[in-house]
Structure 1
Amino acid sequence: MRPVLVYTASRIGLFLVTLGVLFLLGLSNPLALIVASFVISGIASYVLLSKQRDAMSERLSARLERPKSQDD
């Protein structure tokens, strides 16, 4: 479960950093600030968090492929 938490925390952190930078640059409309932060952090996470995304994907696919126990 750790790779999922690391990736999620990284995405949230990247969003908050982007939100703060855009606010400091003078973007004061709340809706525009949130939308722009979401788009920019999404693009940045695609590039910056590829290792974490791959680790999360491997972890989730391994968990889904694991046979389920029969409790009959």
Structure 2
Amino acid sequence: MHPVLVYTASRIGLFVVTLGVLYLVGLQNPLILLAAAFVISGVASYVLLSRQRDAVSSRLSDRIGRPKPEDD
């Protein structure tokens, strides 16, 4: 599967799980709930998704470094 899709799906999944856990813990204010879930999932993704982030970076650098085909 495409590394960008895997990384994006993993980030979204981590955010949704964090949101659900914080809601179950008792955080009811929607604005604080979303902000806390955003921050916590961001920190967690930095730690947990480093392999996927490296794969995306490698894929993008290969794509940028590849010469473009010339149109006639």
TM-score bracket, normalised by the shorter chain, equals over 0.9
The unaligned stretches of length 5 or more in structure 1 are none
Q: Tell whether 2:13 aligns with 1:13.
A: yes
Identity of aligned residues (%): 75
Q: Distance in 2 between matches of 1:2 and 1:26?
A: 37
- Residue 71 of structure 1 is matched in structure 2 by 71
- Residue 41 of structure 1 is matched in structure 2 by 41
The unaligned stretches of length 5 or more in structure 2 are none
Structure 1 residue runs of 4+, over 6 Å off? none
So what's the TM-score if we normalise by structure 1? 0.97
The RMSD of aligned alpha carbons is: 0.9
String of CA shifts for 1:39-70, please: whole Å, max 9, x gaps.
00000000000000000100011001110011
The count of residues paired between Structure 1 and Structure 2 equals 72
So what's the TM-score if we normalise by structure 2? 0.97
String of CA shifts for 1:3-39, please: whole Å, max 9, x gaps.
0000000000000000000000000010100000000
